[in-house]
Amino acid sequence: MLKEHKIIRIQPGSIAEELGVEPEDILLSVNGHQIEDVFDYHYFVNEEYLTVLIRKPNGEEWELEIEKEYEDDLGIEFANALMDDYRLCHNKCMFCFIDQMPKGMRDTLYFKDDDSRLSFLQGNYVTLTNMKEHDLERIIAYRMGPINISVQATNPALRCRMLNNRFAGEALQKIDRLFRAGIPMNGQIVLCKGVNDGAELDRSIRDLMAYLPVMESVSVVPVGLTRYREGLYPLEPFGREDARKVLAQIHGYQEECMERCGLHFVHASDEWYLLAGQELPQEEAYDGYPQLENGVGMLRLLREEFAEALAGAEGEAAGRAKPPRKLSIATGTLAAPTLRELAEGFMEAFPQVEVQVIPVINRFFGEMITVSGLLTGQDIISQLKGRDLGDRLLLPCNLLRSGEKVFLDDITLEEVENTLQIKINIVESSGQDLLSCLLQ
C-alpha cells in the first residue's frame, strides 16, 4: 500500500512554491521510491534530478520534474515531522523513570519511545531492542550518525534482566554491525547500585572501549529514583562513598583511553562529582562535550561561558548597564551551588546588584531528584511564596515544556508569576544567556 504524507506548509521562495505545491497536497513518491519516513525523504530529495509525485486535493496527480543543487531542500513541511508513527518501547527496565511517575499527569508524559530515528533527530538514547533488520540496513546505507545507545551493561544476561526483555542481550550484536560499518555512536550507562556497578561496570567500559574510535563517548549516570516506586525493583540511591568509587573507576579508564587514542571516552555525569564532594573536571577533560544532554559537563560549560561573558561585560557593558537592585534565581538543588558561585562573581563585578540563588527541593517526585528539569510549578510556588524575591525571578528554560510556557505539572508560567507577584525571565542554557538576564 502506497504511503501518503500530508503537506501542511510550504516555505516562501522555495522550490516547492515555484512548482505550485500547496498545503493539503499529498506527497506520494520521490524518484519512484515510496517514502517510509523523514529519513527516506531527505535521502532521496538530496539528488540533483528528481521526479516527485504529488496528489492535489481534487485527486489530480502531478508528476514534477526537478533539477536543483545537490542537498538543496524543496521547502516542504509535513503534518507529521517524523512522517511515520512513533515506536513504543517494549522494555520494562528496572530503572525506567516513566514507571516512577504519579498518576494523573498529561498522557504524553507516560509515552515510552524507543525509536532509533529519534536518536538522530532529537538525540534520544535507544536500546536497539526495537530496531529491525530493515532499520539497521537503512542506517548503514544512509550513513546516518551518530546514533545514541542505552547500553546499561554489556553482559547479555544482565542486560536482559535490567531491561526485562529476553532479546536485550542479542540486541548488543547490533553495536558490532554499526561498528563494522563505521557508524558513529555514543553510549550511555544508567548505573544501578548493586546491579551493573563494580565489576559489571568494569566489564561494560572495557567492552565498549573495543569500539573506539567509532564509539565516540560513553556516559555513566546515576539512576534517578522518585518516591513513586511501589511494586518496582528495589533500587537504592548512591551515597558519597559510592560516588567516589565510581569516579575512581572512570578516571582510571580515562587515563588509559587518553594514552591509547587521545580521548577520555568515558565520562561521569555532573551528579557524581557533586555527590562525591569533588571538583568538576576542567574543560579539556570533556572532549568537546559530546554528552551534554546526559548532564556530562553542563556545569563546567556554564562556568566557562559565564566567566568569558562576564569578563567582556565588565569592560564593555558595565558603564551603561542598569540592572535591578535585587534578583533571584530558582533552580534544582544539583545546580544551586554552581549558580551561587557564578552569582558571587557577578556581584563582585556589579556590586549594586544583589543576586540570591534559591535551591528548590523536589517534593513532587522526591528529594532524591535534584535536577532542575524535573521541578514542577507547584514546588516553585510553595517554596518561593512569601519570600523577598526582589525585582525579578530567573528560571532555567528546561523547567518548561518545549516550545510552551507550561511546567511539568501543567501549571503555566503566568500562574506562577501571578501567584508570586513577580516578573519571571526564562534563562536559556548558555552562560551568555544567564549574564544577559542578570544585566537586563
Q: What is the mean pLDDT of residues 111-127?
A: 74
Q: What is the mean pLDDT of residues 154-179?
A: 96
Cell matching residue 251: 578516571
Could you give the CA distance from residue 440 to residue 435 in angstroms, rounded to a whole number? 8
Question: If DSSP states are collapsed to H, E and C, what string results for 361-427?
Answer: CCCCCCCCCCCHHHCCHHHHHHHHCCCCCCCEEEEEHHHECCCCCEECCCCEHHHHHHHHCCEEEEE
Strand segments, DSSP code E, in 192-230 are 215-222
Q: What is the mean pLDDT of residues 287-296?
A: 93
Does residue 147 have a pLDDT over 70? yes
Please name the amino acid found at residue 285: A
Q: What pLDDT is recorded for position 130?
A: 87
Lowest mean pLDDT among 143-157, 228-242, 318-332: 318-332
Could you give the CA distance from residue 21 to residue 186 in angstroms, rounded to a whole number? 39
Q: What pLDDT is recorded for position 116?
A: 67
| C-alpha dihedral, 347 to 302 to 227 to 276, nearest 10° | -90
Does residue 121 have a pLDDT over 70? no
Lowest mean pLDDT among 34-48, 153-167, 377-391: 34-48
Does residue 263 have a pLDDT over 80? yes
Task: Report the SS3 class of residue 302.
Answer: helix
Could you give the CA distance from residue 263 to residue 80 in angstroms, rounded to a whole number? 39
Residues 6+ apart with CB under 8 A from 10: 16, 17, 21, 22, 23, 75, 76, 77
Q: What pLDDT is recorded for position 106?
A: 80
Split at pLDDT 50, 70, 90, the class of 246 is: very high
Judge whether 343 and 204 are in contact, CB under 8 Å.
Answer: no
Does residue 230 have a pLDDT over 80? yes
pLDDT digits (tens, 9 = 90+) for 325-341: 899 999 999 999 999 99
Q: What pLDDT is recorded for position 158?
A: 98
Could you give the CA distance from residue 414 to residue 34 in angstroms, rounded to a whole number? 46
Could you give the CA distance from residue 420 to residue 399 in angstroms, rounded to a whole number? 17
Does residue 119 have a pLDDT over 80? no
Does residue 120 have a pLDDT over 70? no
Q: What pLDDT is recorded for position 70?
A: 85
Query: Is the dihedral angle over the CA atoms 304, 310, 313, 314 positive or is it negative?
Result: negative
Does residue 111 have a pLDDT over 60? yes
The upper half-sphere exposure of residue 305, i.e. CA atoms within 13 Å in the direction of its Cβ, equals 17
Does residue 318 have a pLDDT over 60? no
Split at pLDDT 50, 70, 90, the class of 81 is: confident
Q: What pLDDT is recorded for position 324?
A: 65
Please name the amino acid found at residue 25: D
pLDDT digits (tens, 9 = 90+) for 196-219: 999 999 999 999 999 999 999 999
Q: What is the mean pLDDT of residues 259-272?
A: 96
Contacts within 8 Å (CB) and 24+ apart, 136-143: 136/174, 136/177, 136/178, 138/39, 138/40, 139/178, 139/183, 140/177, 140/178, 140/181, 140/183, 142/39, 142/43, 143/183
pLDDT digits (tens, 9 = 90+) for 1-19: 568 899 999 999 999 999 9
Does residue 88 have a pLDDT over 90? no
Q: What pLDDT is recorded for position 264?
A: 97
pLDDT digits (tens, 9 = 90+) for 418-436: 999 999 999 988 999 999 9
Q: What pLDDT is recorded for position 124?
A: 83
Lowest mean pLDDT among 66-75, 274-283, 373-382: 66-75
Q: What pLDDT is recorded for position 234?
A: 94
pLDDT digits (tens, 9 = 90+) for 380-408: 999 999 999 999 999 999 898 777 899 98
Does residue 281 have a pLDDT over 60? yes
* Predicted TM-score (pTM) of this structure: 0.86
Does residue 62 have a pLDDT over 90? yes
Q: What is the mean pLDDT of residues 72-91?
A: 86
Cell matching residue 217: 563517548
User: What integer best gives the mean pLDDT of the chain?
Assistant: 91
> 188, 120, 193: which is closest to 154 by C-alpha?
188
The pairing of beta strand 76-78 with beta strand 5-10: antiparallel
Task: Quote the Cα angle for 188-191-192, to 5°.
Answer: 145
Backbone angles phi, psi at 201, to 5 degrees: -65, -40
Does residue 320 have a pLDDT over 60? no
Split at pLDDT 50, 70, 90, the class of 247 is: very high
Q: What is the mean pLDDT of residues 95-122?
A: 78
Could you give the CA distance from residue 224 to residue 68 in angstroms, rounded to a whole number? 49
What count of other Cβ atoms lies within 10 Å of the Cβ of residue 167? 15
Q: What percent of the chain has pLDDT over 70?
A: 95
Judge whether 186 and 148 are in contact, CB under 8 Å.
Answer: yes
Q: What pLDDT is recorded for position 151?
A: 97
184 preceded by cis ω (within 30°)? no
